[in-house]
Structure 1
Amino acid sequence: MVFSFLVSVGLSDNRWEAASATFYGDMGGGETMRACGYGNLFDQGYGLYTTALSTALFNNGATCGACYEIFCDKRSSQWCVHGRIHVTATNLCPPNYSKPDGNWCNPPLKHFDLSLPMFIKIGQYKAGIIPILYRRIPCVKSGGIKFEFKGNPYWIMVLVYNVGGVGDVTNLKIKGSKTGWIQMTRNWGQNWQIFNVNLLGQTLSFQVTTSDGKMVQSNNVAPANWQFGQTFQGKQF
């Protein structure tokens, strides 16, 4: 019986890993700290299908945008609900080093802090914390990659979101209509920046590379009259 269960969920190929899960907020969400840099999760297409990651999984923000399939490990808990969820990493579950033995998000523990609507799809509310099995899955997003502009003429920061494929961006380059490709650096989460390059009045293109090495080039994403505070859409993985 146990053997058939393991094979049926794909554990035999070692893609599934063990972790634990809790929840935050209420049925409306309630997330306040977004260490990935995302803004309104509903406006940006993530909604409640989100999770905060423990330090061991968050990887200093490099994992932001990754997608996971999760279900409760009924072999280890009586509080499981039969079901699976697909969520996107949008936040950090912060460690609490004052409680080295009492915080699930302290390294090296692997932990997911889910929105309450997601948690109750796989575990009973009264459990509070449940053992889970998880794996990375492709992100399925509607529309193209989004680029949100912030900053000023001499410091440009771009939030990259709604990324398909593996979801987590590891490299970003920008190109003006009067420049070559310029390397951007990660500021925090999925916010990327360049300094001392004035790209106002130029049409902008992007190269987005994800953790699997795939790259998507979106030409002429932003028109020459782009402004800070605007968001533009490119191609998708």
Structure 2
Amino acid sequence: MAASCCKWLSTAAMVMALYSVAFGFDTQWHDAHATFYGDMGGGETMGGACGYGNLFEQGYGLETTALSVTLFNNGATCGACYEVMCVNSPQWCKKGSVIVTATNLCPNNPAGGWCNPPAHHFDLSQPMFVKIAEYKAGIVPVKYRRVMCRKSGGIKFEIKGNPYFNMVLVYNVGGAGDVWDVKIKGDSTDWITMNRNWGDNWDTGVVLQGQSLSFKITTSDGKSVQLDNVAPSNWQFGQTFERKFNF
């Protein structure tokens, strides 16, 4: 890929390992429980609390999960990928594991529930649940770990808002998957740090219409990439732009 398209902010392997700890990327196995939502056709296909829209159109498909409040971390883990396998329940467990992307929140229930803090819980799409456990089980103990995300195509940016409020949905992110920092730059501006509005929607009040837009993305393992001229100067609200690059 041309240098003008993508500029890696490289680091040494040891420094990256330290970043992984500092930014919270954890590949160790942990204990949790899993339930399921929807039906075998996918049931709920919208991205919910992560804001991804139609999960099939945006490339996430059925390989998805909602996370408990603790794991969701106020949306910071949207886009993260997990390997999940059923354990310690011979009656219900199947062999093997599934890899899913976090696309939604399994909310806190004031009356009590599996997703309330401090529980670690996965509410899998039904097709993913039945790959690791019998449908009749309903809920099973699992082991899970973070894994790198492999996405088809490049990182995508959907621009929303109005002339005085720009909100950008960042999705289809590979590598660590979860976006921890977004910066945006117009032709006539310096780099502007965007705020996480909700899920993977990031905002700024700086007027940017009429300028081509560039982005810097940092994921939770500390890796960053600069994508220049992602959107041309005649971009419009509601449009989505894809740069043919991914982590």
TM-score normalised by structure 2 residue count: 0.86
The alpha-carbon deviation at position 168 of structure 1 amounts to: 0.5
The equivalent residue for 1:68 is 82
The alpha-carbon deviation at position 212 of structure 1 amounts to: 1.1
The AA in structure 1 aligned to 2:235 is W
C-alpha contact (below 8 Å) 1:216/1:236 kept by paired residues: no
The alpha-carbon deviation at position 113 of structure 1 amounts to: 0.2
Unmatched 5+ stretches in structure 1: 1-13
Identity across the alignment (%): 69
1:1-237 mapped onto 2 (5 Å cutoff): 15-31=28-44, 34-73=48-87, 75-99=88-112, 103-195=113-205, 197-234=206-243, 235-237=245-247
C-alpha contact (below 8 Å) 1:149/1:230 kept by paired residues: yes
Residue 32 of structure 2 aligns to a residue in which SS?
strand
C-alpha contact (below 8 Å) 1:77/1:131 kept by paired residues: no
Residue 120 of structure 1 aligns to a residue in which SS?
helix
2-structure distance, mates of 1:77, 1:228: 52
Instruction: Kindly report the root-mean-square deviation, in angstroms, between the aligned alpha carbons of the 2 structures.
Output: 1.1
Indicate the larger mover: 30-39 or 56-65.
30-39
C-alpha contact (below 8 Å) 2:158/2:169 kept by paired residues: yes
C-alpha contact (below 8 Å) 2:170/2:201 kept by paired residues: yes
Q: 1:33 to 1:221 in 2, by over 3 A?
A: closer
2-structure distance, mates of 1:94, 1:51: 13
C-alpha contact (below 8 Å) 2:47/2:53 kept by paired residues: no
The equivalent residue for 2:22 is none
2-structure distance, mates of 1:205, 1:159: 14
Residue 35 of structure 1 aligns to a residue in which SS?
helix
The AA in structure 2 aligned to 1:199 is L
2-structure distance, mates of 1:60, 1:179: 30
The AA in structure 2 aligned to 1:223 is P
2-structure distance, mates of 1:20, 1:39: 26
The alpha-carbon deviation at position 185 of structure 1 amounts to: 0.3
2-structure distance, mates of 1:54, 1:179: 39
1-structure distance, mates of 2:47, 2:53: 10
The alpha-carbon deviation at position 76 of structure 1 amounts to: 3.6
Tell me which stretches of 4 or more aligned residues in structure 1 moved more than 6 Å: none
Q: 1:18-63: CA deviations, max 9, x gaps?
A: 1000000111222257101110000000001000000110001000
Unmatched 5+ stretches in structure 2: 1-26
The alpha-carbon deviation at position 77 of structure 1 amounts to: 4.3
Residue 70 of structure 2 aligns to a residue in which SS?
helix
